[in-house]
Amino acid sequence: MPRTGRMRHRRYPSQSRPLRGEAALWALRLWVAARRRDHGDWLLQELQSETLTDLGVDLSGDTAMEPLDDVLDPERIDEALEEQLERMNRQPIQPQRQRFTTNIRALGDRLGLIECEQQILLFLVLHEADADFSSMVAIARKAVTMSATEAMAIALDFPEREVRAALSSDGTLMRSGLIQFDVRMGMDSANMEYELLRGIGLELDAPEASPDAIFRTYFRPSPAPRDGLLPMTHLEEERARVAALLRQASRQGAQGINILIHGEPGTGKTQFARSAAAEAGLTAVEVNFEDERGDPLEPRSRQRAYQLCQHVVARTPGHAVVFDEIEDVFDARNGWMRVGNRGDRPGGKAWTNQMLEENATPAIWITNHVGQIDRAYLRRFDYTLELRQPPRSVRRALLEHTCGDLPVSDTWIDRASQIEGLTPAEVESAFRVARLLYAEDQQFALESFLDEQLARQAHLQNRTPPVRRRGSDLLRYDLSMLNTDQPLEPVVRHLAAAGEGSLLLHGVPGTGKTALATHLAEQADRPLIQRPASALLSPYVGMTEKNIARLFRSAEDEGAVVLIDEADSLVGSRETARARWEVSQTNEILVQIEQFHGVVICATNFLGAIDTAALRRFDFKLELRALDPAQREMMFIDLLQTLGADREEVSVEHRERLSRLDDLTPGDFATVARRYHVLGRHQDVDPATILEALASERAMKPEAGKRRAGFA
């Protein structure tokens, strides 16, 4: 007795069309193969009235068949499917979508895809684009538990070993990122176990799509470098070194050359990479953040876009690949790339390590957050470079260059260049907005606005806005105004040039210890990290030592000069210590000073409180004293000019009175300058008024040794 089945009906009339071209042939091959193995007639249970029509089988005129609402003859169905397959195999197949066929052929020629690989790509593209085709494939696969590779081998009429080879991790489809294995997709869904590169189907369906047009969705030629606009002289040596590495890697065909550039946002990492590639004479290409329609590329797609980029440019030497914002691609929790699964599958650690070791084209990877990258990957980068905040000389050059024709004073530029952490991006942004506002209103308070903008940027970047000593920019700074116990200029010159050494500054408050440290950092063109002892001391055992170590570690990372004020609180005499932790913190700071590869300055008002053994650890020790008579007169004249008083009004009596103020310091003059800088707008000042103010400051000085703390 023949086997029977009942035809299923769709609840609503079908809006689908019969499959055409390759899709019809491939689906028919799968159904015939599945029926040959379908001993439980599972496919017949899924058969609907339109299914045979979709496969190109027409039984409407077959008198041997009962109406579709009644029982079907499985043998007759099988016979009809076999006959239709035989007819289609004899006829030339017209492509279902000519665009897919033409564009895949062009793409395959560009990427070096063999015929089997091109057919697999076409199969997966049609599978993604045509819901009826993907449904027919899924039903056939599920009926007889057919793997994706077996299904494609049957449909495409290739040996399964060739299909498996084409889909292996070493195959071009996988290595180029066009296809990726994904275990989340299986026979129970309409999807295959292989996932196409996001958007590739739409690109292949575009009219007259060229391979270059398709590639632009995933990577593009890098814009020309802009270092002609922004002077970054502190990076010239590093840029030349990176350019040489790129150039030789390209010439010699060196494999697996990867350069990691990291640093805070806005420090010029991308521009550095572009300029280094240009200096090397290479054409830089960059992995996109978004596709041609402006939709952002997710991390998985960006990583696969990098693969495609590497595969394409490897076929035409003379390129460098720039992969920016890689923190989006690396998983902060697990360290590996956010693609696929663990192990040696795409996205796993072994697979990612292999990708870092086998790239044919040298690559520059850029990140703001190097901590998100696993150490197993970091050690595979051949060259790493941290771009730090530019030094003051470069900040000044950036400000001068960027302000252009805007009426910004040299005084403002000098003051703004002192802002630690100021980046090229922040400078450009502030001046771009200022230029637009100034074009609208030339009475615009330009410098005040720029101060406000830079302060806002500091807040957004979670930086502490610069805290300047009030009035520090009112008086001219001159080393000759400092009264020291030994020549000062040779010490400053040596420490600034060497970039290493230790200096102990001691003396009464106000003699200019902090200002000298600031000046030395400026001469060395390094940032200054200033910490009072009170910011390092902790009531918890061991925390002071940790704070000290953290300070020196930060200074080492930033290449900064360290200034520790009130140092006697940290480096006190161990002979008079009353607790073990006092000895421990003294030992810690002495160890840090000896091991520090930079300039460290300690300042104190109480030299006698410093540990005697610690004094030997300082390369230089300078005492700053009150001003001598000649220095007092020079500062007095400068102060009068600063406040707008007439220096010609200074009489002999004024000079005699000034000479009797024998313990004035630069700090006293700065205090008076601050006071009358504001009051002078409402009242006139003259030499007598200024002398009275200086005498008042002198009268307020405590007796020597009475006050332990003070300002330096």
Query: Does residue 610 lie within any of the structural domains?
Result: yes
Instruction: Identify whether 178 is part of a domain.
Output: yes
Q: Which pLDDT belongs to residue 527?
A: 86
Taking alpha carbons only, the member of 367, 376, 327, 360 closest to residue 176 is: 360
Q: State whether 455 and 534 are in the same domain.
A: no
Task: Give the residue carrying structure tokens 């990877």.
Answer: 365
What's the rounded mean pLDDT across residues 605-620?
A: 87
Q: How far apart are the first and last CA of the chain?
A: 109
What is the structure's pLDDT at 249? 95
Put the strands of the sheet holding 319-323 in their side by side order. 219-221, 283-287, 319-323, 363-367, 258-263, 383-387
pLDDT tier, 4 (very low <50, low <70, confident <90, very high otherwise): very low
Please list, residue by residue across 278-308, b when 16 or more beta carbons sit within 10 angstroms of its beta carbon and e when fewer do: bbbebbbbbbbeebbeeeebebbbbbbbbbb
Residue 381 covered by a domain: yes
* Higher-scoring residue by pLDDT: 96, 463: 96
pLDDT digits (tens, 9 = 90+) for 631-662: 999 999 988 888 888 888 888 898 899 988 88
Q: Band the pLDDT of 260: cuts 50, 70, 90.
A: very high
Closest CA to 677 of 478, 477, 471, 472: 471
Average pLDDT of span 577-590? 74
Q: Do both 55 and 77 map to the same domain?
A: yes
Mean pLDDT value across the chain = 83
Average pLDDT over residues 320-342: 64
Same structural domain, 602 and 669: no
Tokens coding 419: 């802002």
For 260-270, what is the mean pLDDT? Answer: 89
Q: What is the pLDDT of residue 562?
A: 94
According to the model, what pLDDT value does residue 475 have? 81
Rounded distance between C-alpha atoms, residue 420 and residue 389, angstroms = 8
Nearest partner of 318 among 282, 353, 350, 358, judged by Cα:
282
Most confident among 10-19, 157-166, 217-226, 467-476 (mean pLDDT) = 157-166
Q: What is the pLDDT of residue 228?
A: 54
> Residue 12: pLDDT above 80?
no
- CB burial string 29-67: b at 16+ within 10 A, e below: bbbbbbbeebeebebbebbeebbbbbbbbeeeeeeebee
Q: Rounded mean pLDDT of 593-622?
A: 90
Residues 175-201, mean pLDDT to the nearest whole number: 77
Residue at a domain's end among 158, 188, 212: 212
Res 187: pLDDT:
47
Same domain, 237 and 322: yes
Band the pLDDT of 181: cuts 50, 70, 90.
confident
**Is the predicted pLDDT of residue 262 greater than 60, yes or no?**
yes
Task: Give the mean model confidence (pLDDT) for residues 449-464.
Answer: 82
Q: Are residues 114 and 145 in the same domain?
A: yes
In this structure, are residues 28 and 55 in contact, taking their beta carbons and an 8 Å threshold?
yes
The pLDDT of 590-607, averaged and rounded, is: 92
Is 248 found in the same domain as 383?
yes
Q: Compute CA distances 551 → 240, 464, 485, whole Å.
A: 32, 16, 30
Domain that holds residue 124: 21-61+68-212
pLDDT tier, 703 (very low <50, low <70, confident <90, very high otherwise): low
Whether 578 has a pLDDT exceeding 50, the answer reads: yes
- Backbone dihedral region for residue 644 (phi beyond 0: left; psi -120 to 50: alpha; all else: beta): left
Greater confidence, 242 or 703?
Answer: 242
Distances (CA, A) of 271 to 94, 98, 106, 143, 496: 50, 43, 34, 57, 29
Q: Is the pLDDT of residue 711 over 90?
A: no
For residue 599, pLDDT over 90 is answered with yes
Q: Using 50, 70 and 90 to split pLDDT, how confident is the model at 712?
A: very low
Angstrom distance (rounded) from CA 310 to CA 317 = 11
Task: Indicate the pLDDT class of residue 612, thresholds 50, 70 and 90.
Answer: confident
In a domain, 346, yes or no: no
Does the residue 324 lie in any domain?
Answer: yes
Span 555-581, average pLDDT: 77
Exposed, middle or buried: residue 4 (CB in 10 Å: 0-12, 13-18, 19+)? middle
Q: Between these two residues, 422 and 284, which has the higher pLDDT value?
A: 284
Q: What amino acid occupies position 4?
A: T
- In this predicted model, what pLDDT tens digit does every residue of 397-410 receive, in sequence order? 888 888 888 999 88
Domain boundary among 574, 606, 624: 624
| Same domain (yes/no): 50, 72 | yes
pLDDT score at 456: 87
Does residue 203 fall inside a structural domain?
Answer: yes
Task: Give the pLDDT confidence of 296-316 residue by residue, as tens digits.
Answer: 888 888 888 999 999 999 988
CA distances from 691 to 386, 482, 653 (A): 52, 20, 11
pLDDT at 251 over 80: yes
Q: Is residue 479 part of a domain?
A: no
Residue 7 lies inside a defined structural domain of this protein:
no
Task: State whether 409 and 497 are in the same domain.
Answer: no
pLDDT of 11? 32
What's residue 250's pLDDT? 95
Residue 520 pLDDT more than 60? Answer: yes
Q: For the chain, how many structural domains are there in total?
A: 5
Both 443 and 428 in a single domain?
yes
Instruction: Pick from 82-91, 325-334, 361-370 the range whose average pLDDT is largest.
Output: 361-370
| Mean pLDDT for the stretch of residues 213-221 | 92
Q: Pick the range with the lowest mean pLDDT from 51-55, 110-114, 253-257, 684-688.
A: 51-55
pLDDT above 70: residue 338:
no
Confidence of residue 541 (pLDDT cuts 50, 70, 90): confident
> Which of 604, 624, 644 is the last residue before a domain boundary?
624
Which two tokens mark 512? 């200019």
Residue 65 and residue 44: Cα distance in Å, rounded? 15
Q: Does pLDDT of 560 surpass 80?
A: yes
Q: What is the pLDDT of residues 98-126, one digit of tens each?
A: 899 999 999 999 999 999 999 999 999 99
Distance CA 55, CA 30 (A): 11
Identify the pLDDT of residue 484: 94
Answer yes or no: do 526 and 653 share one domain.
no
CATH classification at residue 587: 3.40.50.300
Is 640 found in the same domain as 591?
Answer: no
Residues 446 and 562 in one domain: no
Q: Is the pLDDT of residue 283 over 90?
A: yes
